[in-house]
Amino acid sequence: MTKALVLLSGGLDSMLAARTLMEQGIEVTGLSFKSYFFGTAKGKKVAAQLGIKHIEVDFSAEHLVMVKKPKYGYGKNMNPCIDCHAMMLKKAGEIMRREGYDFIATGEVLGERPMSQNKEALRIVEKDSGLSGRLIRPLSAKLLDQSEPEKAGLVNREKLFNISGRSRQRQLELVKKYGIKEYASPGGGCLLTDPAFSEKLLKILEFWPECNGNDIELLKWGRVNWLKDEHDNNVLLMIGRDKQDNENLEKLAGSGDVIIQLAEENGPTSLIRGIRNKELGISELEIEAPEELKLGELRLGEKKGQEEIIKLAARLTGYYAAKLRGKKVKLEVRLIIN
């Protein structure tokens, strides 16, 4: 039996690509990738809906290295889609050869994304991944060069499609044809395409070029503020917005980080990363939480000593505990030592 490994993002296109091959009696296995910017949950759900095996690959560390300096640059935001697809497909090719699959397939549609799914971009991805002739895009296959599995009769080209452009009409027709009851809406799966997160990522790559995965994870959980210490080093201050943010900031805290929390009330957890001294000299503070606060007046970009940074973080922590504004607030300050 012909065996195909299909990249499953969890979106409709990849689901339809898999289903199209299944209609030909091809044994399909789904493959999803995990990084700091997207996960495998949607792909796993689609595989379960289709009743096929599913493989998960975590390439977070390697992916982050690529995101910092992509060969083909970024899209509209911080999304290096061409490099990302090539990396996924290269990994997929390794699994294909090791486990005896006949070819790789994706849900890419010619022209659906003008920058990363034009003919030249699709050609680059196929070449750079080392899959020339072994990669099929079932939804647009009739508009692309014939693959080796098609030439060999492993895949019936006549039962593939010639879909192109951004309209979803043809895909929705296939949804009805295949009796698909549930599918994810397009987009939203990758943080690198999100303008707000991209702005945060751009800043951390500028300030901390050697940032690691834990640093990236921090950006997802709270308000992001950048300060300068007395030596002109960049210091990151994260302030939780809700219980989930607070819990995740606690989990992500590492050696040398400073945690600030309200001592007697519920409220934000704040985390300072980048302070270089081994000792704090402060374990608790009492402040009056500001009733109003304009970030511009705090001069966050000016050099500040360690104690000044901690006191400023405490003021912001008190301010974002909205019910305590204008009141005396006690805060606990602790240095994480692992």
Q: What are the sequence ranges of the domains in the chain? A: 3-191, 221-335
* Average confidence (pLDDT) over 254-277: 93
* Average confidence (pLDDT) over 233-244: 97
* Average confidence (pLDDT) over 238-243: 98
Cβ atoms of 71 and 83 closer than 8 Å:
yes
* Average confidence (pLDDT) over 42-46: 96
Predicted confidence at residue 299, as pLDDT, reads: 87
With tokens 């009056």, the residue in question is 288
Q: Which fold has domain 3-191?
A: Rossmann fold (3.40.50)
Q: Which among 68, 64, 72 is positioned nearest to 38, based on CA atoms?
A: 64
The pLDDT-based confidence of 45 (bands split at 50, 70, 90) is very high
* Average confidence (pLDDT) over 45-74: 97
Residue 319 corresponds to which tokens in the numbers above? 């301010």
Q: Which residue has the higher pLDDT, 277 or 101?
A: 101
- pTM given for the model: 0.92
3-state DSSP assignment of residue 261: strand
Q: Give the relative orientation of helices 12-22 and 41-50 as an angle to the nearest 10 degrees.
A: 30
The pLDDT-based confidence of 210 (bands split at 50, 70, 90) is very high
Predicted confidence at residue 278, as pLDDT, reads: 66
Predicted confidence at residue 279, as pLDDT, reads: 72
Residues 6+ apart with CB under 8 A from 335: 256, 257, 258, 279, 280
With tokens 């374990």, the residue in question is 283
| Longest Cα separation, the chain | 77
Residue 280 has pLDDT above 80, yes or no: no
The pLDDT-based confidence of 32 (bands split at 50, 70, 90) is very high
Q: What residues pair up with 6 in beta bridges, in sequence order?
A: 30, 105
Residue 74 corresponds to which tokens in the numbers above? 């970024």
Q: Which among 196, 189, 216 is positioned nearest to 205, based on CA atoms?
A: 216
Residue 37 corresponds to which tokens in the numbers above? 């910017």
Residue 189 has pLDDT above 90, yes or no: no
The pLDDT-based confidence of 98 (bands split at 50, 70, 90) is very high
